[in-house]
Amino acid sequence: MPYAATLADALEPLLADPARAAVLLDVDGTLAPIVRDPESATVPELTRRLVNQLTKRYGVVGCVSGRRATVARRIVGIGSIPYAGNHGAELLPRGAAEAIVDAEAGRWGARVRAVADSAGAERMRTAGLRREDKGPIVALHWRGADDEARAEALARELAEEATQAGLHVHEGRRVIELRPPVPIGKDAAVRRLLAGTDVDTALYVGDDLTDLDAFAGLRGLVQEGRLRCAVCVGVRSEETPEAVFGAADLVVDGTDGVRALLEALVA
């Protein structure tokens, strides 16, 4: 499907047979607007209602997030859909109290936290670097710091230590994640959400580099014959990496554009 596809063209495969279609959605920057304080992020009520309506029509509706799955569920505010958290390292089934954590990733959690601990709480506070512990992953955020350059410098120093310790490092928008050296990505997340379901078409909507893995995951399922069609939608903002636009079948403008897309899906 070409990048220039219209909204109607892009959604036609899903609208043709909604019961056999999946709608998979990133959270931050897609459903929830990006805010200075990530802890205050929330999905607008109108968007939440639209996602609820999707569940009554489509075969699978789920969310994929870099946050912990339980945190993503709190932000979205819907307990009746599954969530893949930590970029696929966690799966929170519908209505479950706790997420299922990938066992191999979980075994590395202590080593990941040890690298983050090496900076010391006082140094982190002084630099304005915010630490987010996510089980097997630690995220280092400098969005909103008084001196973002100083906070970023400390994050990159810790990232270098993590690399030397044999860990993986992944960079997003004003955040660096310290990860276990095991396969973690939204490609695995979309596969886990679709496993055992009776769908042959899937749509994914996202706005960051990690969402490229989800695009690749769905397209891989098409190549394998598991899906008949995959639709990959990028969300445009001032911070969206150019690579997202290049990989998307369709681009919408911000969270308002996502809401319009959801409205078209439930119309």
Write out the catalytic residue numbers.
26
Phi–psi pair at 39, nearest 5 degrees: -70, -20
Q: How far apart are the first and last CA of the chain?
A: 22
- Are the CB atoms for 214 and 186 separated by under 8 Å? yes
Distance CA 197, CA 161 (A): 41
The residues near 261 (Cβ < 8 Å, ≥ 6 apart) are 7, 11, 205, 233, 252
Tokens of 154: 């400390």
Which one, of 211, 218, 216, 213, lies nearest residue 251 by Cα?
Answer: 211
Cβ count within 10 A of residue 223: 10
Under DSSP, is residue 120 helix (H, G, I), strand (E, B) or coil? coil
Task: Count Cα atoms within 13 angstroms, Cβ side, for 29.
Answer: 25
Tokens of 117: 């601990």
Task: Identify the residue whose tokens are 């400390």.
Answer: 154
